[in-house]
Amino acid sequence: MRKTTYIQAINEALREEMRRDESVFLIGEDVGHYGGLFRVTRNLLDEFGETRVIDTPISEQGFMGMAIGAAMVGMRPIVELMYMDFILVCADQVLNQGAKMHYMSGGLVKVPMVIRGQQGGGKRYGSQHSQCIDSLVAHFPGIKVVAPATPYDAKGLLISAIRDNNPVLYLEHKMLYFTRGELPDVGEEVIVPIGKADVKREGSDLTLVTFGYCLLQALEAAEELAEEHGIDIEVVDLRTIVPLDMETVLASVAKTGRLLAVHESQANCGIGGEIVARVYEEAPHLLQAPARRLGMAPVSIPVSQTLEEEILPWKRNIKAAVLEMWRQPVAA
């Protein structure tokens, strides 16, 4: 094993899959000569040329439509959106056409494509460049949604996404790009299955379900809560938002009796509310105390660092939510 960054893990997955399969190509704004806004696609143009690493004008509707068409005739495009906020510009192509094509054609047409890009706060980019869209896109059938938090999961899930015969939305958080983690040596295949959560920290008192950058914040919060208050938290990394791995979530809740679902998109109509609802519907007897969700406050994301930290469900707010739950009475 070796240590590498989240960016390098994604770059390796792209390179290895492009070498393995000539139908795989990249398309998006500045993915070629510039190497991507955060340099995720750096040096790929040198190896694969302009026919497989395609720089486009600023026209999300145009290049997204081109990619969906290419996927329908057998190619495997990987589209980079510079900011995931911009998926709203091409929402019809992605959510109303590409995601539904297999169903609308009676299974005759497949759309094997990946839409990847970064989302989230932490860089003071303001309201139109900092949103998390996971809860929004999870409402649409026909598209899978993944959000890896570690370099290992980033590489393994991207390879699985590229090989999938359905459209996959691959969400990167901008605060993860320079984090580091273990990865097998170059040449050793890394595959993480879509739809399988992972327990990142064992615990006995409370199940904290999360994904993306919130995972790192949750793990830090869990360590501090254990040291400061003796609360032993189990942290479940969903890794995939659609489809949800409720089997792993329920197994953890069965052990701890408490549930807190944390995500950076807004709590209102969010993934956290869905997880809490499913636990109450499928296994309410597992809960010893009321389950809870924690998401971003229902406001536009401010540029101010102080205000941004106030509204995002990061370590300080996670710890506050856990301690508030801890003061609630436990069922007999």
As given in the structure block, the two tokens for residue 90 are: 């091409």
Q: CB neighbours of 228 closer than 8 A, spacing ≥ 6?
A: none
* Residues β-bridged to residue 308: none
- 267 dihedral zone (left: phi>0; alpha: psi -120 to 50; beta): alpha
Positions of E strands within 154-311: 168-173, 180-183, 198-201, 206-210, 233-237, 240-242, 259-266, 292-296
Q: Is there a catalytic annotation at residue 263?
A: no
The DSSP-derived string for 12-39 is: HHHHHHHHH-TTEEEEETTSSSS--TTS
* Residues β-bridged to residue 64: none
DSSP state of 184: P
Q: Is the peptide bond prior to 243 cis by the omega test (within 30 degrees of 0)?
A: yes
As given in the structure block, the two tokens for residue 276 are: 């809490």
One-letter amino acid of 256? T
151-163 vs 6-20: helix crossing angle, rounded to 10: 30
Q: CB neighbours of 128 closer than 8 A, spacing ≥ 6?
A: 83, 85
CB 98 within 8 A of CB 143: yes
* Residues constituting the chain: 332
Catalytic pick among 102, 129, 173, 263: 129
Closest by Cα among 273, 276, 261, 277 to 313? 261
CA–CA separation, 156 and 108 (whole Å): 28
Residue for token pair 């971003």: 296
Residues labelled as active-site residues: 129
